[in-house]
Structure formats: C-alpha cells, structure tokens
Chains A and B, each alone.
Chain A
C-alpha cells in the first residue's frame, strides 16, 4: 500500500514538476553533493585515517572495532558461543515470570533492536563490500559478525543495568547513561565527558547512517525499478512520511512497518536460500572464491587486506556491534537480571550479519555478478579501477537487485518494497536513538524535541537528494565515531559485566535461576 501510494505520488510529481525544470532539479542534486562533501570531508578524514601496514592502507577505525570485539570475546571467555542456547531459551520466554506478562519481553526487545539494525547495510552495504572487496570480504564479514556478538553483549548488559527508570514508568537507557553512572560508580573521572561526546556522535549518526544512507539507497532502488528521476522527489515524500510519524504522532504507520519488516526479512532470506539451492552446482565454486579471496590475491584493489577491510567495515556498519545504538533499544526490557538482555543481544549480530548479510553476499557471488578474466581467474576491475566489474555495471543496492533478479525477475519489485520498509524502520529506530541522545544533552521538552525531529526530517530529504559518495562516507564516519567513544567506555566498565556474568552463571548452575514451568 505504502509503496503503491508513493509510486503514484512520485509519478504525479514527475509529470507536473519535472517536465518544467529537469535541469534545475539535477542541478540541485549536484550542488548539494558538492557542498556536503566540503562540509563533512574533514570529519570523514579523521575517522577513516589510514595506517600503512605491509604496503596496504588500513583504516585505524576498523582495527579499533575488531580489537575491541576480540578483547571482549577473550575477556568473557567466548560468551558468544557458550551462551547461545541460553539466549534462545530466554527469547522463547522459558525464564520469564508469567506474572510479568504484559511487560516488554526479551523477544520484543530483540525484535525492535533488530529492525533498527536490519536495514540497507544488509542489502546495499554488503553489495558494496563484495563489489569492492570481492567474495573474500564475505569471510571477514562473518568473522567480524561473530566477534561483534561479544561487543553487543557487553554494551547491552550495561545499557539495562544503568538505565534511568522514571516515576511515570518510562525508561531511558544507552551508552550515555552507563558512561555517566557507571564511571561514577567505579570512581572514574570523565564519564560525563564521554557521555556528551557519545551523544553528539549519536545525533550525527542518526542523521547519517541511520537516516541519509537509508533514504539515499531507497531512492537508488526506487529509480532502479521505476526509472530514473531526481532524488529530491523521493526525499520530499520520505521526509513527509517520517514527519507524519515522529512529529504528527501517526503511530499506525510505525506499528505496521514494525510488523511487516520481520516478514520481509524472512522472505528475503528464504528467497536467497532458494536461489542458492537452485545454483547448487555453484556452491563449491562460490565458497572456494570466498575462502581464497579472504587470504590470497584475487585481482581486487588492496588484495586480501582490501577484502578484510571491506568485510569488517560493512559488518560493523550493518550490525552496529560496539557502536552503542543497540544498548538504547534493548534497555526497555523487563528483567531483574541486566545480563539476560546481554545474552539475548548476542543473537543480533548473528542474525543480522552471519545470516542475512551472508545471504546477500552468497547470492551475488553464486549468480556470477562479478566479472572474472577467464584466462587468469582474477577479477576484472571497472573503468574507475576501484571496484570489480559487474555484469551490468551496477553497484550497491542495484547489484543486489541484479543478482536476485537473475533468478527471479519479479524479485526486484519485492526488493524495492523490502528496501523501502527496511529503510523506513531503520529511520524510525534511529530517530529514537538520536532523540534519546538529544534529550540527554539538552533535556526533555516539547520544543527541544521538535527541533531535533524537524532536523531529522530535513536529513531524510537531503539523503535522497545527494549522491552516494559523500553520503556513504559521512554515514560511516558518524556511526564509527560513536564506536570510538563507546568502546573506550566499555573497556573501563567491562569488569562490572564480568561480575554480573560470573554471578549469573553460578546461580544458573546451582539451579537458583530456573525455568518457569
């Protein structure tokens, strides 16, 4: 329904406005792109500053995220592998007190956090990773997803432990609260400073990756299917709908999206599986390319290190482990044990990255979208020399679309609905995360909140209007800046999580914590 309405609106706009001033419309796009690049370039450069390691440029931020995930993995004794069965039991509600029925369940907290993370990173971001880094990027992406489970566990446990519960029964949680309260509890200085820094980056991230990247790629997919038209049309429509939901209080749109998104996710993974099974004779070759591309030269820019960088970068952007955003979403759960939500949140990077992202990558690889040189078996680069040449020259979301459509031509229409819905649910989630950071900085109040929300709508518009390059860079930079601050805080606060973990595990073993019959 939503899509059809937008399609009609887009067509109507197209006929009245575009016919009159096509050149002007395209001009606005280009001008926005240019100035946006000027305005944000310095920030992007700091976050993506690269070190030269063995002759390859390695962004320090990628190392930062993976190092953090590895520290948490080792410090908590591979919690992401040991506690998965318990996490599933928690989500099923085996350990939930029936008298708490009607409160936020583990399942609901997980589902809401997931619909915030499952977005275009899974569809478009992975296509970028595989397009630039080759099939080998998939291997590193899965590894980063598995490691990231430990980061997510740490931040979500802290998010619940240090949330604010107000007299009226509402809760607010997230990194800015565990930074302030957790540091104070341990007698450490600087908690407030970190909290403020995090909140600033969270607001920027909510305008970047949680917003502009989403509307940008949704527009890319829409124009891919219904024909090229200027981005500002999508921008105006998207911003209008987001306005209705977050300012107009039209809750029904958000609720419907929240209910449809999980089914789109299942449909997406299901279709990917069918395509993989239909090309089962290619499965061996695809896995061969993924493994060999992860460790050896395969013709892509940067070789195996290039694959690693792309894989890690996209995994982090997609599952947001270590970024701190999920700690905001998970903190509303009803539980007496904060660590239970940590266990549940382990599943999030697994579902997001190890399952959904991998499906996208496999479909692109298995359907042979990436062009290889028959003589050498190496991948062929495109004219710009930056990414692997694809069958029809597409990249990003269009590449995913081409891969799925090569088997099911109708899937591009399903994908456009999925993209729009995923983009929308991610925007709604991020508008909430950003607002929490905003109220942490400026305090609560109707006018203050409306200012944030209006700015949010403006960035929805901007995201669809300007070109991929500068949007993608700024989106990543803003979200990764959150991770810089968040992981510092996690290092200082992880002993608190360790105490909770040992206490919980020993009570679980002794039978003090039991399933409700």
Chain B
C-alpha cells in the first residue's frame, strides 16, 4: 500500500539531503511524497501600521516566491525520479505546522534535514527536529 511521506523543505542544504533520502526510499517502497514548506509566522507578532496595510500584498508575494523559487524546481526533480509528489505551502510555527500537515495528509512519516544548529539559539528557542521528536504523531526521520 502506498504511504505518504511529508518532507519538511526550506531550500537549505540539509532539506535537500532529506528530500533526496525520501525520494530514494519512496521509489524503493512505492510511496508518495508531500513536500511541505512552512513560512515562519506568528499571529502574535507586532507590526507597524504600514506593515499592516501591506500585509495582504506581501503575503501574496511571499507565497508566489516560495512556490516558484523553492517548491517548483524540486517538485520537478522528484517527479523526474518517478515518485508521485504534491506540495503544501503554509504559514505558521514550523514544527507545529509540519505536524498539522502530517495529520491533514494522513501521512505515515515525516522527514526533515538536520540543520546542525547547536548552542545558545536552539537552547533558547528549541530546534524543529527536537520539537518534532517530542510532538509528532508519526515516526520522524532526521537526515544528517
């Protein structure tokens, strides 16, 4: 039976490794891939009046840019490898949104690349991989 693998993809080196890894697996096992790109966003941030006015416009621009510059090239690549692929583009907290996407898509696996952040910033803010490991509803594969 075909399963879905959600791959968290942000265009970075690490996320490319994760996607390559997922593609190989999916091809071998007959699975499909959902490439998920999450734009970091909090509804509780503070904006200036000008930013409020332009927000809707900026959002459209950000979505278009993510679609064409980040998702489109790799989607073509996965398709070329003969693996069924779809994409999801969302705003939100990265780890939480990936979990939500996995639930919505009824996915069997989440795969992400390891960013290799260590030290202070991840100690304070936590890392995506660390959060996923704790809250994900499905197995998570972290590709180094």
Contacts and interface: CB of A to CB of B under 8 A. Distances in A.
A145 to B, nearest CB: 23
Given A102-B62, A170-B53, A112 B43 contact: no
A205 to B, nearest CB: 15
B118 interface: no
Contacts of B52: 104, 108-109, 112, 329, 332-333
Interface in B26-66: 39, 41, 43-57, 59-60, 62-63
Contacts of B51: 251, 255
Given A101-B90, A101-B91, A172-B53, A251 B48 contact: yes
A105 B49 CA distance: 13
A111 interface: yes
A410 B56 CA distance: 43
A118 B92 CA distance: 29
* Chain B binding surface SS class: helix
B55 A103 contact: yes
Given A101-B90, A101-B91, A255-B48, A93 B53 contact: no
Contacts of B50: 251, 254, 432
Interface centre among A96, A101, A428 (most CB of B within 10 A): A101
B49 A111 contact: no
A38 to B, nearest CB: 34
B46 A170 contact: no
Contacts of B92: 98, 101
B46 A171 contact: no
Contacts of B44: 105, 107-108
Given A93-B43, A96-B43, A108-B43, A103 B48 contact: no
A115 interface: yes
Given A101-B43, A101-B90, A108-B43, A169 B49 contact: no
A172 B39 CA distance: 26
Contacts of A104: 47, 52, 55-56
A321 B100 CA distance: 40
B48 A428 contact: yes
- How big is the B interface, by class? 20 to 34
- How big is the A interface, by class? 35 or more
Contacts of B60: 169
A375 to B, nearest CB: 52
B53 A332 contact: yes
A256 to B, nearest CB: 10
B57 A170 contact: yes
Contacts of B45: 108, 259
Contacts of A254: 48, 50
A95 to B, nearest CB: 12
A116 interface: yes
Contacts of A258: 46-48
Nearest to A102: B91
A169 B57 contact: yes
A261 B53 CA distance: 20
A258 B49 CA distance: 10
A236 to B, nearest CB: 24
Interface in A309-340: 328-329, 332-334
Contacts of B56: 103-104, 169-171, 332, 334
B49 A168 contact: no
A116 B59 CA distance: 24
Nearest to B44: A107
A103 B46 contact: no
B32 to A, nearest CB: 23
A277 B45 CA distance: 31
Contacts of A59: none
A429 interface: yes
A335 to B, nearest CB: 12
A262 B57 contact: no
Contacts of B100: 98
A255 B56 CA distance: 18
Contact of B49 (A101, A334, A432): A432
Given A93-B43, A96-B43, A107-B43, A102 B59 contact: yes
Given A96-B43, A101-B92, A105-B43, A329 B59 contact: no
A171 B53 contact: yes
B49 A112 contact: yes
Given A102-B91, A107-B43, A107-B44, A429 B49 contact: yes
Contacts of A108: 43-47, 52
A255 B48 CA distance: 6
Contacts of A93: 43
A103 B53 contact: no
Given A168-B57, A169-B57, A102 B47 contact: no
Interface centre among B41, B46, B92 (most CB of A within 10 A): B46
Interface string A426-453: 0011001100000000000000000000
Contact of A428 (B41, B49, B59, B62): B49
A329 B90 contact: no
Interface string A81-123: 0000000000001001010011111111101100110000000
Given A101-B91, A108-B52, A115 B59 contact: no
Nearest to A329: B49
A258 B54 CA distance: 16
9 contacts: A102-B62, A103-B55, A103-B59, A106-B43, A107-B44, A108-B45, A169-B59, A329-B49, A332-B52
Interface of B: 39, 41, 43-57, 59-60, 62-63, 90-92, 100
Given A169-B57, A329-B49, A334-B55, 15 more contacts: A96-B43, A101-B92, A102-B39, A103-B55, A103-B59, A104-B47, A107-B44, A112-B46, A170-B53, A170-B57, A171-B56, A259-B46, A332-B52, A334-B56, A429-B49
Identify the 6 closest CB pairs spanning chains A and B, nearest first. A102-B91, A169-B57, A105-B43, A101-B91, A332-B52, A432-B49
